[in-house]
Amino acid sequence: MASFRNGEVEIAYLDEGDGEPIVLVHGFASTKEVNWVNPGWIATLTRAGRRAIALDNRGHGQSTKLYDPAAYHTSLMAEDVRALLDHLGLERADVMGYSMGARITAFLALQHPHRLRSAIFGGLGIRLVHGVGLPDTVADGLEAASLDAVTDPQSRMFRSFAQQTRSDLKALAACIRGTRQTLTEAQVAKITIPVLVAVGTRDEVAGSPEALAALMPRAQALPIPERDHMLAVGDRVYKAGVLEFLNRRP
């Protein structure tokens, strides 16, 4: 396992392939393997001649677990991605995030716009601005005594997913309480790099990709047909759209 330290946080990552780099930022309760390796993203990108780099966000996978919600502010998690670029000696890269990872990518684009060649927001639409996607009840579901004790459907889905990924439930509860930041429409309008907003047409978490793309001067929406928040991740339309976008951008 490759890793580096950003302050007191150790961040695990993988780095495969050659060519232009793209950094992948996974979603809540996921890992670099679950979000990017298993659905075939690493293979897809490396076969296309790109260098694929994926990290485990703090609180996830093989990275440091923290239990204070304040340690998971989205701006701090964006700095972990910036620190990864520094660690690898990369001045600029394309960055693709999914769900929470897309929120992190948006904050990174604002905080360090010169470090991104382009951005891909997967599984996150207008709820980057209006609402935060997942409700507070998800944290309660993670802290429940068992999966059987969780009755809210969305909370139960994420509790089950977290158990499947063998995640630290207390760290995830702190994470979801700490990453509930949004951006204003004016802030989003300042993201002037090329952006692709890719969301499943049955995604009830992300919000409209068209509405978010309309706020940025160089953004476009990619609806992923008949896919919900979970199933869109490895969809072939999503992959093809991302490769086309990367090949077309300056």
> 213 Cβ partners below 8 Å, 6+ apart?
195, 197, 219, 220, 221
Task: Provide the percentage of residues in the chain whose pLDDT is more than 70.
Answer: 100
Predicted local confidence at residue 134, as pLDDT: 74
Task: Answer yes or no: is pLDDT of 157 > 90.
Answer: no
| Domains delineated in the chain | 19-134+167-248 (3.40.50.1820)
**Distance separating alpha carbons of residues 84 and 3, to the nearest angstrom:** 9
- Strand segments, DSSP code E, in the chain are 2-6, 9-16, 20-25, 50-55, 93-98, 116-122, 195-200, 219-224
pLDDT digits (tens, 9 = 90+) for 169-222: 999 999 999 998 999 999 999 999 999 999 999 999 999 999 999 999 999 999
Predicted local confidence at residue 131, as pLDDT: 80
Of 86, 103, 85, 206, whose CA–CA distance to 94 is shortest? 85
Predicted local confidence at residue 1, as pLDDT: 80
Task: Answer yes or no: is pLDDT of 133 > 80.
Answer: no
pLDDT digits (tens, 9 = 90+) for 23-32: 999 999 999 9
Give the type of residue at 57: N
| Beta-ladder partners of 52 | 16, 22
Is this model's pTM higher than 0.85 or not? yes
Predicted local confidence at residue 249, as pLDDT: 84
**Distance separating alpha carbons of residues 97 and 199, to the nearest angstrom:** 12
53 token code pair: 């780099």
Predicted local confidence at residue 25, as pLDDT: 98
Task: Provide the percentage of residues in the chain whose pLDDT is more than 90.
Answer: 90
